[in-house]
A and B are shown apart, each in its own frame.
Chain A
């Protein structure tokens, strides 16, 4: 989609926000959830999603657990305590960014 580039910089925050809401999720589930929430506007590819998840895991923001589902292993991601704190910070940063962008693009609009 044409807007995908605009979403890219916020991918980590999107993942953290989803995990904060859902508790634990696996990779494919994240892609489908994002697709549904953005009405197909944002399609996260495997090449972008998994490196982002592994990076967040390496930073200690995500914890993993593996379960056997339908003849295969499935890796679930969930927020660590540090991840929960970081989610709040990153969402605040993103909100601030959106407000700044809005002021730049269209100062007459207002988000609540």
Chain B
């Protein structure tokens, strides 16, 4: 006994309204619930509505629990990737190169505006890129890897704002400002690489079917 398309859609909407917001997590749960409902309909001779209701009454919390755990696993995975990125010799070299380059340029040119507004421009650019990818994946579809990255991006924005506003006197060539901008450059590379990686994963797995 196989479920109809509208019955699958019903399960999907129900789970979406039960705080299981990410498409990649929900898709798997829809399949699990549908398999259980089909099994119940056959073994207990029930119609779709009663089989679904009986199952969800017992296991709704289990699905919500799995959803919370999934978010934790996703966050850990992203953090692990960020930490390993900043441990590679190439990233450290890039950071040192950027810092040295800006320091040398700063001796001859006035980098005041560049250093003051550079981090903000970079972060706004990254945010636009992030939302354009989300739009590309589908406005109604929310994917865990892409969305949880926004938390980290937001964290960096807050950190930058805090540092910029907490400086009482903005010094053009201060090491902190130059280091901040150098760090932003590596961050651009990392965030774009991660967004593209997750985008490719989700389009490969879910969009081409």
Chain A residues close to B by CB (< 8 Å): 26-28, 45-47, 49-51, 54-55, 58, 64-75
In the assembled complex, B148 has its CB within 8 A of some CB on chain A = no
B209 touches A73 (CB 8 A): yes
Minimal Cβ-Cβ distance residue in A for B27: A73
In the assembled complex, B44 has its CB within 8 A of some CB on chain A = no
In the assembled complex, B179 has its CB within 8 A of some CB on chain A = no
A73 touches B63 (CB 8 A): no
A50 and B34 contact, Cβ closer than 8 Å, known pairs A66-B205, A73-B206: no
Number of A-B contacts (CB under 8 A): 75
A58 and B31 contact, Cβ closer than 8 Å, known pairs A45-B62, A46-B66, A71-B2: no
A45–B36 Cα distance when bound, in Å, is 12
In the assembled complex, B28 has its CB within 8 A of some CB on chain A = yes
A73–B74 Cα distance when bound, in Å, is 21
A72–B71 Cα distance when bound, in Å, is 23
Residues of A within 8 A of B69 (CB): 47, 50-51, 54
Residues of B within 8 A of A70 (CB): 2-3, 34
Residues of A within 8 A of B94 (CB): none
**Closest Cβ of chain B: how far from A18's Cβ, in Å?**
16
A47 touches B27 (CB 8 A): no
